[in-house]
Each structure stands twice: as C-alpha cells, then as structure tokens.
Amino acid sequence: MKYASEKGEHKKILLVDDNVTNLTAGRDILKEKYKVYPVPSAETMFDLLNNVVPDMILLDIEMPDIDGYEAIRRLKSDPALADIPVIFLTAKNDEGSELEGLSLGAIDYVSKPFSAPLLLKRIENHLFTETQKQQLKEFNSSLEEMVERKTAQILNLQNAVLSTVADLMEFRDDVTGGHVSRTQKYLKLLLDKLIEEKIYTDEMSGWDMYYLLQSAQLHDVGKIAISDAILNKPGKLTQEEFDIMKTHAAIGIDAIEKIKRNTEEHAFLYHAKRIVGAHHEKWDGSGYPSGLKGEDIPLEGRLMAIADVYDALISTRPYKKSLSADEAKRIIEHGKGTHFDPTLVDVFSEVADRFAIAARDM
C-alpha cells in the first residue's frame, strides 16, 4: 500500500476524536500543511478507510464504543491497514498508558494539551521517515526483481553453455545422439523413486537436485580429449585402445578441477566431479578410474552408472546392435552386486518401464 500522496498534493491525515472542540482545533492546526479528515469515532474511521487511504492517523484513546487501543488492534490485524502509521493524541499521560500504546504499534504518543508547532514537527518527522521506509521498500523490491532477472539470465546462459558442450560431445561421438538427454531423464526417474521410497535419504539430504541433474550433462566431458579413431572405431577396442578410452574419466575430473580453481565452490561442480569421476566405477571394485568399491563409490556415480549403461545397451554402436528394453533390464539386473549397487538395481527394476518410455519419447 502506498501512503505518500502524489507530488504536489497534501498528505492525508485522519484525525479521530469524539470531542468536537478537539477535532476543530486539530483541523485548524493541520489544515495549512495537510488534507485533514476530522472523524468523530473509530466506527466512522473504519467506514472512511474503505474509501480513503491516509498517510497517517492521529487517534484519541478515550472514546465510547471502540476506544483507541481497540481501534489500533483492529488496524494492525488488517493487512490492508496495518502499515498506516498511528500517533496517539490523548489526555492519558501516565507511563503505563504510553507504554501500552507504543506496544500496540503506535509510532508516537502525544499528550494533551500539546504544542501546535511541536505536534506539526513530530508529524513532519514521522511522515518523512515513513516516506523513506516506503522508498526503501520499493527500492528493495526493484532490486530483488533485478537480481531474480539477472539470476535467470545467468542460469539460462549456463544451461545454454552446458547444452552446447553436450552437443559437441555427441557430435564427435555421433553414434550416441541423444545419449546425454536420455541419461538425464533416467537419472531423474531413479532420483524421484529414491525420494518416494525414502531410500538413501541421509546421503541425498544436502543435494541440490536441479544442479545435480544439470551436472549430469558433463558425465562424459573427458571424451573431448579422446581420439576420433578410438571414439568411433567400428569394432571392438584393443586393450591399449580401451586403456586410452578409460582415461576420459580422469580427464573429466581434471577439467572440473580446473573450473573449480577459477571460481567459487558450487553445488553444480560438486555433483559434476562426483558423476564424472565415479560413473564407471563398479560395486565389486573392478571399475575405473580409481577402483572404488561398494558405498565408497559416490552415490551420484552409482546412479549414473545405471543410467549410462542402460542407454548404451539400447543404443546402436559401431561394434554392436541395439538391445531391447527388456534385454537391457535383464543385463542390469544381472549386474546386481557386481557392477551395480544392489539397492539401486531394485529401484531401477521398479521404474524400468518408465526408462523404456523415456527412451522411446526422445
């Protein structure tokens, strides 16, 4: 709600008092500087507030029916009226009455009889403060909108860069088109099921799922450094070639580390490094690049291992034909406890039909 009047207009003040003499005197004091609404009761004040939004209310305490204390309680309980500044003008000048008035939300407490110049100065100071508060509120609101807009632009730029890097990887490895997008979908299916079943909740408690899924696009970023002759060889790799292919995981880790050294720690990079470095590890310790075993393998890598292998199985490669979704499901289930985390294989089995649908929809 905006209380400050438009430029060139007097600010509006409601003067509420059941004494006609006080209303007349107050109006005469204020009318040269403000648009004054003399109001004989709190009931009339609330009726008037349906049509007039004042910049301030000067409120008497001792009034019949609804006294000043009850009136301010009602004002502060109504979100549409709660921010209107209230000054009590009253003959009650004991410390307890003043303390009660201020505790109920009044910004000031002026005892009658009062000095006209002093009252005008207090009103002027409080209105100036309220104007500054409103301007600060509007500035903060504009600043928040600007930050949100800039953040969205940065996120869009980040996503565009990631998508481009992923596209470049797939362009070089042209037999796996759509692999990055599909594995992201598979990963989300597994994560959603883990959350639904409350599995690995402690391990995932601090995860940022948005950045985790985004970072999965970089799981094979190290393949950028692998020769086309090996990457697209139309046949089985020799042991030497396979050893070179395996270096893509370590190369990927190095790439993420270089980014981290040039920027601040971020959830995206945290998840990216764990996925890049662990998605070729195996539950029984026979994987690469570090030969990690069991739960020593980061959970992100164990999840990505299932998504990555499933998509490799259902995809056509130079050295093999694509397998059906049922065949891929059987192979992953056969790798339970050797290649893959047994718990995650059970989760995969429950959503394998959704994997198949996601693959068909790409």
Nearest CA among 105, 301, 335, 101 for reference residue 212 = 301
Region 122-126 average pLDDT: 90
Ramachandran region, residue 44 (left: φ > 0; alpha: ψ -120 to 50; beta: rest)? alpha
- 133 vs 291: which has the higher pLDDT: 291
Cα–Cα distance for residue pair 318/257, rounded to 1 Å = 32
pLDDT for position 201: 95
At residue 351, the pLDDT reads 97
Judged against a pLDDT cut of 90, whether residue 130 lies above it is answered with no
Could you read off the pLDDT of 35-54 as tens digits, one per residue? 999 999 999 999 999 999 99
Instruction: Write the single-letter amino acid at 194.
Output: L
From 284, 264, 175, 285, select the one nearest 220 (Cα to Cα).
175
Q: Quick check: 233 pLDDT over 70?
A: yes
CA neighbor of 309 nearest in space, from 197, 190, 202, 192: 190
CATH topology of domain 173-361: Hypothetical protein af1432 (1.10.3210)
pLDDT of 224 strictly over 90: no
Residue 165 pLDDT: 66
pLDDT, tens digit, for every residue of 249-304?
999 999 889 888 877 778 888 999 999 999 999 999 999 999 999 999 999 999 99
* Contact predicate 254/273, CB 8 Å: no
Instruction: Name beta bridge partners: 317.
Output: 320
pLDDT-derived band at 167 (thresholds 50, 70, 90) equals: low
Write out the CATH class of domain 12-143.
alpha beta
Which residues of the chain form CATH 1.10.3210.10? 173-361
Does position 103 have pLDDT exceeding 50, yes or no?
yes
CA–CA dist 108, 98 (Å, integer): 9
Which amino acid, one-letter code, is at 103? S
Distance, CA of 138 to CA of 2 (rounded, Å): 10
Q: 298 preceded by cis ω (within 30°)?
A: no
Contact 234, 175 (CB under 8 A): no
- Confidence category of residue 8, pLDDT binned at 50, 70, 90: very low
Please report the pLDDT score of residue 171 as a whole number: 60
What is the mean pLDDT of the segment spanning 165-185? Answer: 70
Percent pLDDT > 70 in the chain is 90
pLDDT of residue 133: 83
β-strand 108-111 against 12-16: which pairing, if any? unpaired
Q: What's the pLDDT tens digit per position in 313-327? A: 998 776 778 899 999
Asked whether the whole model's pTM tops 0.85, one would answer no
Highest mean pLDDT among 58-62, 91-95, 218-222: 58-62
Are 305 and 187 in contact, with CB atoms under 8 Å apart?
Answer: no
Residues 6 or more apart whose Cβ sits within 8 Å of residue 180 = 166, 169, 170, 216, 217, 219, 220
> What pLDDT was estimated at residue 6?
44
- Predicted local confidence at residue 159, as pLDDT: 63
Query: Which part of the chain is CATH 3.40.50.2300?
Result: 12-143
- C-alpha 194/C-alpha 35 separation (Å) is 64
